[in-house]
Structure 1
Amino acid sequence: MPEGDTVWLTAHRLHDALAGGVLTRFDLRVPRFATADLTGRAVRDVTPRGKHLLTRFEGGLTLHSHLRMDGAWRVFPAGARWTGGPAHQIRAVLGTEAATAVGYRLPVLELLRTGEEDRVVGHLGPDLLGPDWDATTAVDRLRADPARSLGDALLDQRNLAGIGNVYRCELVFLAGVTPWLPVGELPGETLPRLVATARRLLMANRTTFERRTVAGTGRRGPLLHVYGRAGQPCPRCGRPVRVTPYRGPGPALSGDERITYWCPGCQRGPGPDDAPR
């Protein structure tokens, strides 16, 4: 599931493969930009911003992409066979003499002026894996709407950038509260600790696609506490982990974000039937 750590690693792999090279192939397979041609231009850098990717080119242009649920960028040596999926799922091809980056199933793909990047990422809160990370600002933004459910607030990228549904489920479990608990009802220093935990977990997972939030279980143990473990025993209390559609205030969620994994034994607060619709 692409979240901030996956996007960070993807950006760095793309940067290592393409930055400094000159484009020998540029192909955007979306109607709006199908005729765009940047061959002959150098790739300046590839930068992650929350769950967004910014690939910058010579001449002040940026390719903005977002992976959402199942998008992916794959990097191949020049001339190698592409193995990231069927050809009809390819949305972008960026090639240099050394490597080719192929974007599969990308739901967001647009070419814009580098000076206009704020149009697509300027709304984001502090980036958990970015140089602008500011825990105090993130906590203040989360607290700004005390009646909002914690799960909904954590998914709002305007508060802090990089958390998706996997980390939402894991973070509220580690905090010992349900995602339907209003932010204003969190006790004491729970929210600053939760934000610090989010930063620590994303930092620890940013160099691998095998995400882990459970420490010390070895290769055979579970990687995650509750996410994807419906019906299995909670690692703390042993009660079966529940899965339920996410019901909270705010904009409609899509796909995986509609699903919540949680433990009714360990996580205090309102359940799904008590949450605002």
Structure 2
Amino acid sequence: MPEGDTVWRTARSLHTALAGRVLIRSDLRVPRFATADLTGRSVLDVTPRGKHLLTRFDGGLTLHSHLRMEGAWRVFATGERWSGGPAHEIRAILANAEHTAIGYRLPVLELIRTAEEENAVGHLGPDLLGPDWDPAEAVRRLTADPARPLGEALLDQRNLAGIGNVYKSELAFLAAVTPWLPVGELPPGIPERLVATAHRLLEANKDRPDRRTTTTRHPAHHLYVYGREHRPCLRCGTEVRRAGPTAHRSAPDDRVSYWCPGCQKGPTA
């Protein structure tokens, strides 16, 4: 599932291509909204909310989408060949005179009233890349259930919105604890540090596609632990380990964790 910084860049790409322009083609290829036609409406803005995307139109309508594991939005210049998947995987087409935005494999796609956006995203916690960012509230939510494992609490978008498995693993490493340590057992000051670090990393990475949590420029060392199983930890040299619902690499990485047994203290999977 894309992290909040990836969704932020997707929103910026869509906003640049669509905002302030009138649609000349609209096609929503989901049964519930197959007859909806947005042609002739102007796109007001495309706003990210955690991992959700809100494309707002004049007339008080919003197209709400979520990428989850497989979804993607692609932007093409008029006349450019579309790429991103076969035609049967297209779920949305939004086109103006200059650009066409294609939504591939979107598991969530719904047309809602802009005034009712809270029904779709109102459950989310403070957005790490949003104007509502509130670190104190994020800490309060993150630590509300002391028995909950840190990794689960970080992934819960109701606590703070925008963290996925990459940042979950990297943040636990930077805090020197495993993702399975109950949040109530975090040393004093660590929840505040985790929240501040999450905000700093997403802000730093939102403008670059090569996500980094380390300070090195080495292309193979941009992340401390994520995706580095069986390789030496960049700090202590201990072999990085991987845990998840399955050991098969072909399975979805929706709840996989990476950690260094040498640097990170706490229970393990």
> Normalising to structure 2: TM-score of the pair?
0.96
Matched, 1:213 2:210: no
Query: Take 2:102 and 2:43, find their aligned partners in 1: how far apart are those partners?
Result: 15
Distance 2:245 2:174 in 1: 18
Q: Distance in 1 between matches of 2:106 and 2:28?
A: 11
Does residue 200 (structure 1) correspond to residue 197 (structure 2)? The answer is no
2:46 counterpart letter in structure 1: V
Aligned to 2:268: 271
Q: Which residue of 2 aligns with 1:223?
A: 222
1:120 is aligned to 120
Where 1:32 maps in the other structure, the secondary structure is: helix
Partner of residue 24, structure 1: 24
1:260 alignment partner, one of 252, 257, 261 = 257
The amino acid that maps onto 1:189 is: G
Percent identity of paired positions between Structure 1 and Structure 2: 70
Deviation at 1:257, TM superposition (A): 2.5
1:36 aligns with 2:36: yes
Is the Cα–Cα contact under 8 Å of residues 246 and 260 in structure 1 kept in the other structure? no
Q: Separation in 1 of the partners of 2:7 and 2:219?
A: 26
Residues 227-242 of structure 1: pairs in structure 2 closer than 5 A: 227-242=226-241
Q: Give the Cα–Cα distance (whole angstroms) in 2 for the partners of residues 102 and 245 of structure 1.
A: 32
Structure 2: where are the runs of 5+ without partners?
none
Aligned to 2:171: 171
1:184 aligns with 2:184: yes
Q: Cα offset for 1:246?
A: 5.9
Cα pair 1:74 1:101 within 8 Å, conserved: yes
Rounded to whole Å, the distance in 1 between the matches of 2:90 and 2:29 is 7
Maintained 8 Å contact 2:128/2:199:
yes
For the residues of structure 2 that align with 1:209 and 1:67, how far apart are their CA atoms?
17
Tell me the alpha carbon deviations over residues 32-73 of structure 1, each in whole angstroms, 9 at most, x when there is no partner. Answer: 111110101101100000000000001100000001112111
Kindly indicate whether the alpha-carbon contact (under 8 Å) linking 2:149 and 2:183 is maintained by their aligned counterparts in 1.
Answer: yes
TM-score, scaled to structure 1: 0.93
SS at match of 2:224: coil
State the distance in 1 between where 2:112 and 2:125 align. 21
- How much has 1:21 moved relative to structure 2? 0.4
Offset from partner CA, 1:227-265 (integer Å, 9 cap, x none): 111100011110111011169xxxxxx932221111111
Secondary structure of 1:178's partner?
coil
2:101 aligned residue: 101
SS of structure 2 residue aligned to 1:144: coil
- With over 3 angstroms needed to count, the CA separation of the structure-2 counterparts of 1:236 and 1:219, relative to structure 1, is closer
Number of corresponding residues: 265
Equivalent residue, structure 1, for 2:13: 13
Q: Report the residue type matching 1:122 in the other structure.
A: G
RMSD between superposed Cα atoms in Å: 1.3
Do the aligned partners of 2:244 and 2:253 also contact (CA within 8 Å) in 1? no
Structure 1 pair 246–126 and aligned structure 2 pair: CA distance change class (3 A):
farther
CA distance in 1 between counterparts of 2:10 and 2:207 reads 9
**4+ residue stretches of structure 1 with deviation over 4 A?**
none
